[in-house]
Amino acid sequence: MKESRRGSCHCRAVRFVCEIDLVTADTSRCNCSMCAKGRFWKVLVRASEFRLAQGADMLSEYRFGSGGVGHYFCRTCGIKLFGRVRLEDMSAATETSSSDYYAVNVACLDDATDEELASVLVRYEDGRNDDWGRPPAETRHL
């Protein structure tokens, strides 16, 4: 069951609220240059299930490669809180064919307990080779 989760950056200048079911969440770690260097651990949530509660003026955006994903960081502490992307619909066929999503940094969820985080399933993606449906050969470093 989805529940409201609160998150923030390290200095707490930027805060957000999102709806996530951590028990069934499809979280992932990727080996692309951005995710691997930043150790980004993400869970996708629909834009309608995400709300920036504070600090819009404290965010910096970074885009690279094709520019399809906006990566958002706190200007003060440098923590990457989320990315924003438009993806083909990954859920019910009754919804539109593409939607806006936020890739929320699971590590930024303030109210997730260590036990909850330890039990979340992680899927690995080979973003380095644009093979998102397959894990890379080596994942221990991610």
DSSP 11-79: TSSSEEEEEE-TTT--EEEE-SHHHHHHT-EEEEEEGGGEEEEE-GGGEEEE--TT--SEEEEETTT--
Segment 7-41, tens digit of pLDDT:
999 999 999 999 999 999 999 999 999 989 999 99
Strands 59-62 and 50-54, by their bridges, are unpaired
pTM of the model: 0.88
Report which of 93, 112, 109, 114 is spatially closest to residue 50, judged by C-alpha positions. Answer: 109
Taking CA atoms, 70 is separated from 31, 64, 121, in Å, by 17, 8, 25
Segment 75-108, tens digit of pLDDT:
999 999 999 998 764 444 334 445 899 999 999 9
Percent of the chain with pLDDT over 70: 92
pLDDT at residue number 98? 58
pLDDT at residue number 132? 85
pLDDT at residue number 87? 79
User: Where do the structural domains in the chain lie, given as residue ranges?
Assistant: 3-129
Whether domain 3-129 has CATH 2.170.150.70: the reply is yes
Question: Average pLDDT, stretch 128-141?
Answer: 92
82 contacts 59 by C-beta, under 8 angstroms: no
Phi, psi of 118, deg, nearest 5: -65, -25
